[in-house]
Structure 1
Amino acid sequence: MTLLPRPLRAVVLVVLLLLVLFPVAYMLFASVSSDLSVAAGHFWPDRFDLGNYGRIWSTTPLGRGLANSIVVAGAVAVLCAFVSLLSAYVLVRFAFRGRLSVLRGLLALQSVPGTLLLLPVFVLFSSTATLLGIQVIGTRWALFLTYLTFALPFSTWVMVTYLRGLPRELDEAARVDGASSWTVLVRIVLPLSRPGLVVAAIFAFLLGWNDVLFASVLTDPQTRTAAVALQVFGSTQEGGAIPVYGQLMAAALICAVPVVALYLIFQRYLLSGLTSGGVK
């Protein structure tokens, strides 16, 4: 992009912005339009009606879905960031047999499609209920354990890449002053790893927030996430005379608000965390 002449660069940026913002603008206008107006294909509302944002809470259990998503995805994000930091610190700062195999395994796990693991995960949780009498399917724990398992390899690799960019001299100086490995991790590595932790946490959060496949199979109506609630609501509108397009668009925008807020709040950490390790 920087190699293009300035006028051409401006044209390309405008085109890209239109491609991104047009669907968002359509959803926004549709959410404040009547269902007849949306069904007729009108882009601009005949009259602005914010009632769709109030009616959606009684039409579908979106509030319960949002609460489940925030609890599960938030817990996965926090624990995944903490565990990935500990794992990356050991992999980067200590030499032991099998270290390279673990690092290569983290990369190899990224190539396994999550769809292939749906049946094994379901059978594993079903066997746990049969053998140990612990009910997992239909609870938030099923989603928590699943998302945490899938998010840890990538988050750990992100932290490995980030910690490689931190100078070892900081650790050595702290050890000269008598600091233990845990003190070095908490007092030195943790504060300096904030951008990498934000990237790892947001990735884990988005994994749990956007997932529909595992959440559809491993939950019941009381533990459904917002993504599943939105999917069920959309599927129930198919085949009707005039679906409630306005409420459907309003629900989609409401589900997108937490993700947009995360990016806006942690934008500067994301930029530095994603680019760390790119230049050595």
Structure 2
Amino acid sequence: MKTDVQRLLPKGVQAVVIALLLLFALAPVLYMLFASVNDDLAVARGGFWPAGFHPANYLRIWDTVALGAGLVNSVLVAGSVAIVSAGVSVATAYVLVRFTFFGRGLILRGLLALQSIPGTLMLLPVFVLFANLARVLGIDTIGTRWALFVTYLTFALPFSTWVMVTYLRGLPPELDEAARLDGASSWRILRSIVIPLSWPGLVVSAIFAFLLGWNDVLFASVITDADTRTAAVALQVFGATQEGGAIPLYGQLMASALICALPVVVLYLAFQRFLVGGLTAGGVK
């Protein structure tokens, strides 16, 4: 009898498989990194290794792409959506998990059903809704950050709430009962017990909501204008202006894409341990 756990693959085969997976995943990133400091003509010819070192591409993009304003808009909108979505979802999930009332099951199934609706189908209704709201109330909607915030929050809340429902089901209800015996209210239990114990789930909900706002191009390109466009839209506009004609500014385009991807990578690295716990919560009962 072998004392070690039997492995599905020998160590040598595992190392080869991991190396191939890393190569497959990192090859596009390395190409973008090399192209961002390469000559545009060399990139157009299909070169992988830099023919020359041009770090000035990372300085020129702030004037060429106007990336600074786009990053500020993306951080403001996506960050506020992440914070509000996490806060609202944990409160909603607490009510759905700890209390029994008429329609509770219907709400849970509705949250799950909302995830099956493609976002592209909602583009025209959302635009018409904001346009009519501006006409009726006499306030600016199209071209504002708050309209984009409301749009992203609407799409982020169902998934965030379902994540928190799954996570809170794993918390022992005896904690609530013990707190109620000491005279704690539902709000005090939520604030002092549930939220401190739900950080992994909150992080997953917040990061999902942040990514929804950070990566979106479809709604942002319709709702925003030149002053409120996000980094993703600014990158799309820059890429569209490089099509046809002279040699595109490949170096600046790749540098812009890397800078836009950097905040997401930092988020994953900073909250990796919370992500693992939040995504696996409720998987084992």
TM-score by length of 1: 0.98
CA–CA separation in structure 2 for the residues paired with 1:34 and 1:242? 11
Q: Deviations over 1:2-53 (max 9, x none)?
A: 6333322222211111111000000000001111111121111122121000
Q: Aligned Cα RMSD in Å?
A: 0.8
Q: Deviations over 1:79-132 (max 9, x none)?
A: 000000000000000000000000000000000001000010011000001111
Residue among 111, 122, 125 paired with 2:127 = 122
- How far apart are residue 65 of structure 1 and its match? 0.5
Percent identity for Structure 1 against Structure 2: 73
CA–CA separation in structure 1 for the residues paired with 2:207 and 2:9? 32
Q: Does 1:25 align with 2:21?
A: no
Residue among 196, 214, 220 paired with 2:201 = 196
Select between 171-180 and 159-168 the one with higher mean Cα deviation.
Answer: 171-180
For residue 276 of structure 1, what is the aligned residue in structure 2? Answer: 281
For residue 175 of structure 2, what is the aligned residue in structure 1? Answer: 170
Question: Partner of 1:233: helix, strand, or coil?
Answer: helix
CA–CA separation in structure 1 for the residues paired with 2:252 and 2:38? 9
Stretches of structure 2 lacking an aligned partner (at least 5 in a row): 1-6
TM-score by length of 2: 0.96
CA–CA separation in structure 2 for the residues paired with 1:45 and 1:240? 23
CA–CA separation in structure 1 for the residues paired with 2:66 and 2:148? 19
CA–CA separation in structure 1 for the residues paired with 2:50 and 2:128? 49
CA–CA separation in structure 2 for the residues paired with 1:157 and 1:13? 33
Residue among 48, 53, 71 paired with 1:66 = 71
Structure 1 stretches (4+) deviating beyond 6 angstroms?
none
CA–CA separation in structure 2 for the residues paired with 1:166 and 1:137? 42
Residue among 85, 97, 103 paired with 2:108 = 103
For residue 269 of structure 2, what is the aligned residue in structure 1? Answer: 264
> How many corresponding residue pairs?
279
Stretches of structure 1 lacking an aligned partner (at least 5 in a row): none
For residue 252 of structure 1, what is the aligned residue in structure 2? Answer: 257
For residue 11 of structure 1, what is the aligned residue in structure 2? Answer: 16
Q: Deviations over 1:157-210 (max 9, x none)?
A: 000000000000111111111111111111100100000000000000000000
Q: Does 1:218 align with 2:223?
A: yes
Residue among 194, 203, 210 paired with 1:205 = 210
